[in-house]
A and B are shown apart, each in its own frame.
Chain A
Amino acid sequence: MADDRKIKAVITKVGLDGHDRGAKIVVSLLKEAGMEVVYLGMFNQVEDIIQAVVDEDADVLGLSYLSGEQLIFTPKIVAEMKKNNLDDVLLIVGGTVPVEDIPLMEDMGVDRVFRAGSLSSEFIEYIEKNIKK
Chain B
Amino acid sequence: MSQTEEIKTDAASEKEEDWGEYLKGYYEKPNSFKTWSGLDTKEIYTPKDFDAEKHYKEKVGDAGQYPYTRGIHANMFRGRIWTKREVVGIGSPADTHARLKYLAEQGGTGLNTIADVTYEMGLDADHPWAANEVGLTGVNITNIKDMETLTKDIPLDQVSWSLITAAPSAVATMAQYIAVAQGAGFDIAKLRGSVQNDPIHFGYCGFKPASPLDLAIKLGCDIMEYCTLNMPKWYYTTVNMYDLREQGITAIQEVAYGFGIAMCYIDELVKRGLNVDQFGPRFTFYVACHVDIFEEIAKLRAARRMWAKLMKEKYGATKPGAMHFRFAVHTSGCSLVPQQPLNNLIRVGYQALAAVLGGVQSLHCCSYDEPICLPTEASHLQALRTQQVLAYETGVTNVADPLGGSYYIEGLTDKIEEKVLEAMAEIDSVGGMHEAIRTEWLDRKLEDEALLRQKEIESGEKLIVGVNIFKSDMEKETPLGVQRVAPESGQQQINDVKEQKRLRNWDNLMVAMQRLKDDAIAGKNTLPAMIEATKANATTGEMIGTVREVMGHHYDPMETIESPFTFK
Residues of A within 8 A of B (CB): 13, 15-21, 24-25, 28-29, 42-43, 67-69, 72-73, 96-101, 115-117, 119-121
Decide: A98 near B450, CB < 8 A? Known: A16-B133, A116-B338, A119-B457: no
Task: Give A21 to B449 CA distance when docked, in angstroms.
Answer: 10
Contact A25 B451 (CB under 8 A): yes
5 contacts between A and B (CB under 8 A): A15-B132, A68-B374, A99-B475, A115-B339, A116-B371
Complex CA distance for A20 and B117, rounded to whole angstroms: 13
In the complex, A68 Cα to B375 Cα: how many Å?
A: 12
The complex places the Cα of A75 from the Cα of B560 at a distance, in Å, of: 24
Closest 5 CB pairs of A and B: A18-B206, A117-B337, A16-B117, A98-B482, A68-B136
Stretch at the interface among B40-48, B217-225, B460-468: B460-468
How many whole Å from A59's CB to the nearest CB in chain B? 23
- Report if A25-B477 is in contact (Cβ < 8 Å); known contacts: A42-B206, A68-B137, A98-B482: no
Contacts of A72 in B (CB 8 A): 132-133, 487
Interface status of B474 (Cβ within 8 A of chain A): yes
Report the minimal beta-carbon distance from B212 to chain A, rounded to whole angstroms.
15
Q: Is the CB of A119 within 8 A of B129?
A: no
A interface, over-half SS: loop
* Inter-chain contact B205/A18, CB cutoff 8 Å: yes
B294 contacts A by Cβ under 8 Å:
no
Contacts of A98 in B (CB 8 A): 338, 372-373, 478, 482
Give the shortest distance, in Å, between B460 (CB) and chain A (any CB): 10
- Does the CB pair A16–B458 fall under 8 Å? no
- On chain B, the residues within 8 Å of A16 by CB distance are 117-118, 121, 123, 129-130, 133
Q: Residues of B within 8 Å of A, CB-based: how many?
A: 44
Option from A13, A21, A96 in Cβ contact (under 8 Å) with B372: A96
CA distance in complex: A19, B205 (Å): 6
CB < 8 Å neighbour of B485 from A13, A18, A68, A117: A68
Do the beta carbons of B117 and A117 come within 8 Å of each other?
no
Contact of A99 with B136 at beta-carbon distance under 8 Å, contacts A115-B339, A117-B338 already known: no
Name the CB-closest residue of A to B475: A99
Q: Is the CB of A19 within 8 A of B373?
A: no
Contact B205 A117 (CB under 8 A): no
CB of B338 within 8 A of CB of A99, answer yes
**Whose C-beta in chain A lies nearest to the C-beta of B248?**
A21
New A-B contacts (18) at CB < 8 Å, excluding given A115-B338, A116-B371, A119-B468: A15-B129, A16-B117, A16-B121, A18-B206, A18-B207, A25-B451, A43-B558, A69-B133, A69-B136, A72-B132, A96-B338, A99-B338, A99-B476, A100-B478, A115-B339, A117-B339, A117-B466, A119-B467
**Per-residue A-contact encoding for B7-18, CB less than 8 Å = 1, 0 else:** 000000000000
A117 near B371 (CB under 8 angstroms)? yes
Bound: A115/B337 CA distance, A: 9
Contact partners of B525 in chain A: CB under 8 A = none
Q: What distance in Å separates the Cβ of B511 from its nearest Cβ neighbour in chain A?
A: 32
A25 touching B478 by the CB < 8 A rule? Answer: no
Tell me, rounded to whole Å, the shortest Cβ–Cβ distance linking B314 to chain A: 32
A29 CA to B434 CA in the complex, in Å? 31
Query: Is the beta-carbon distance between B478 and A99 smaller than 8 angstroms?
Result: yes
B447 within 8 A of A: yes
Most buried by B among A18, A72, A101: A18
Q: Which residues of A contact B508 (CB under 8 A)?
A: none
Contacts of B206 in A (CB 8 A): 13, 17-20, 42
A33 to chain B, nearest CB (A): 12
- Chain B residues near A121 (CB, 8 Å)? 458
* Minimum Cβ distance to chain B for residue A68 (Å): 5
Give the shortest distance, in Å, between A27 (CB) and chain B (any CB): 10
Instruction: Give complex CA distance A43, B118 in Å.
Output: 12
B209 within 8 A of A: yes
Q: Which residues of B contact A24 (CB under 8 A)?
A: 447, 450-451
* A25 and B454 contact, CB distance less than 8 A: yes
Name the CB-closest residue of A to B90.
Answer: A68
Q: In this complex, what residue of B is CB-closest to A14? A: B132
User: Which interface residue of A24, A69, A117, A119 has the most chain B CB atoms within 10 A?
Assistant: A117
Q: Which among B121, B372, B373, B468 has the greatest number of chain A C-beta atoms within 10 A?
A: B372
Q: In whole angstroms, what is the CA distance A100 to B117 when docked?
A: 24
